[in-house]
Amino acid sequence: MRKVTPIFFLSAALAAATIYSCKKSGDHVGQALSQGTEVLEMPAMPYDYSGSGFGIPVDNNKAALGRVLFYDRHLSINNSVSCGTCHKQALAFADDATFSRGFENRLTGRNSMPLQNLPGPNVFGGVGISLFWDGRSSSLNDLILRPINNHVEMGVADLNTIPAKLAELPYYRELFSAAYGDGNITNERISESVTTFLQSIQANRSKLDRQQQGEKVMNAQELYGMTLFDSKYNCRSCHTLTPAVYYGTMGQNFVNIGLETTPTDKGRAAITGNPADEGKFRIPNLHNIALTAPYMHDGRFTTLEEVIEHYSHNIKNAASLDSRLKGPDGKAMKMNITTDEKAALVAFLKTLTDYEMITDPKFSNPFKIK
Ligand code: HEC
Ligand code: HEC
């Protein structure tokens, strides 16, 4: 264990200036700070962010800068929303709302995604990576500026205004200097440092991970759920627990699971223009699944039981329904999962929660409300 490092306010003068009061409280949404003030609290030495599951070294100063940017509301047009507003640590960096609220309370079109085990630019040779529900981004580095620019999320139409805006805040010069050797603020550095921070967030200490590393931590019901998941119901034929598969293309990672006969959201087809891709979405990473309700790209299911009931009885005959979810007659399969089996599957899915990741201070919001 690392020693506890003293918390300090970057410097006395800096701390005073770091406190910002929200003048236009009407603009604020979510956890509004209407009358409050936010203070940036950082450890004297950056946390140790190494140990990315992909064996890629993580630069601690870049990750520390990326963490501050991730939680800084100044990255939105009216200082109301940060990445952390829709990506909450306690929820594996997903959101518990069906659709999340951006600046001016605008609603996103899809359910927020957990952020964990994300491949940075050096992972899998940087090729074949699919990000977002529809895979419209293939590079984590390029993705970072998109939410800032997005007209629903953070609303900054002209990204070129961001560096000058951040330069007015007292804490960035020192943080950029530590990470890059000089205090210049550029969008490239913003992307790279947030990427570094995100890449350091690894879900790999769940009960299932530990069981797979040889510890005997899963009980009989959980193990039974695992055999149902792996073999009887073939869930693992899609949901492998390996990031190379759920973020890498591997040819097969967009699938229609028959939520609707005619998909409301075209999903992958909106990107490829191919009608055969209608209603296909990226196969989600099930790490921390117990924390990321509601479920599916549109947040339609509130509980894991409802998700399993979908597979059990409610798969629809969509044109692009995946063959793994069809019966011998070529129609939507009915798995007829029994009550005991459902309970075991849910118990198994709950073994995927990494409690260390969601409570680790190095991933937490460094802005404290005073
Ligand atoms: C207003 C809510 C909101 C804000 C603010 C927001 N996001 Fe997201 N994020 C989402 C939603 C919704 C999705 C899924 C979008 C989709 O697939 O169409 C998403 C998806 C992502 C993904 C893709 C994850 C994956 O597995 O493919 C990443 C990475 C991400 N966001 C990072 C960020 C970063 C970094 C910021 C801040 C610069 C940010 N987000 C700000 C709502 C938000
Ligand atoms: C043919 C591939 C495939 C099979 C087989 C499959 N799934 Fe899925 N699963 C998906 C896709 C794709 C999604 C996302 C669909 C969407 O949002 O439109 C999904 C979504 C989920 C979700 C919600 C994830 C989230 O983040 O919202 C859970 C939980 C889940 N599946 C569990 C299971 C279980 C349990 C089984 C076995 C009974 C199973 N899946 C079988 C492809 C599959």
Question: Could you tell me the pLDDT band of residue 243, with boundaries at 50, 70 and 90?
Answer: low
Contact yes or no for 99/254 (Cβ under 8 A): no
Mean pLDDT computed over 64-70: 97
Range of weakest confidence among 4-8, 190-194, 294-298, 359-363: 4-8
The listed range with the strongest mean pLDDT (22-26, 36-40, 177-181) is: 177-181
Residue-level pLDDT at 253 = 84
pLDDT at 138: 87
The region of weakest confidence among 21-25, 183-187, 192-196, 199-203 is: 21-25
End-to-end alpha-carbon separation of the chain, Å? 29
Mean pLDDT, the chain, rounded, equals 87
* Index of the ligand 2 atom closest to the CA of residue 322: 1
The per-residue pLDDT for range 34-64, each reduced to its tens digit, is 345 788 998 888 999 987 667 778 899 999 9
> How remote is the CA of residue 257 from the centroid of ligand 2, in Å?
7
Of 125, 151, 130, 155, residue with least CA distance to 140:
130
CA nearest to 238, candidates 248, 250, 249, 253: 253
For residues 10-42, b (16+ Cβ closer than 10 Å) or e, as one string?
A: beeebbeebebebeeeebbbbeebeebebbbbb
Residue 97: other Cβ atoms inside 10 A: 15
Mean pLDDT of 157-178: 95
Higher pLDDT among residues 303 and 27, named by residue:
303
**Residues in contact with ligand 2 (CB, 6 Å cut-off):** 229, 233-235, 237-239, 255, 257, 259, 281, 283-284, 286, 289, 292, 295-297, 304, 307-308, 311, 322, 324-325, 345
Are 111 and 87 in contact by the 8 Å Cβ rule? The answer is no
Residue 229 has pLDDT above 50, yes or no: yes
Between these two residues, 11 and 367, which has the higher pLDDT value? 367
Give the model's confidence band at 244: pLDDT under 50 very low, under 70 low, under 90 confident, else very high. Answer: low
pLDDT at 148: 92
- How far does the centroid of ligand 1 lie from the alpha carbon of residue 126, in Å? 19
Per residue in 101-117, pLDDT tens? 998 889 999 999 999 98
Q: String of b and e for 168-181 (b: at least 16 CB within 10 Å)? A: ebbbbbebbeebbe
* Residue 106 CA, ligand 1 centroid: distance in Å: 14
How far is the centre of ligand 1, averaged over its atoms, from the C-alpha of 224 (Å)?
Answer: 34
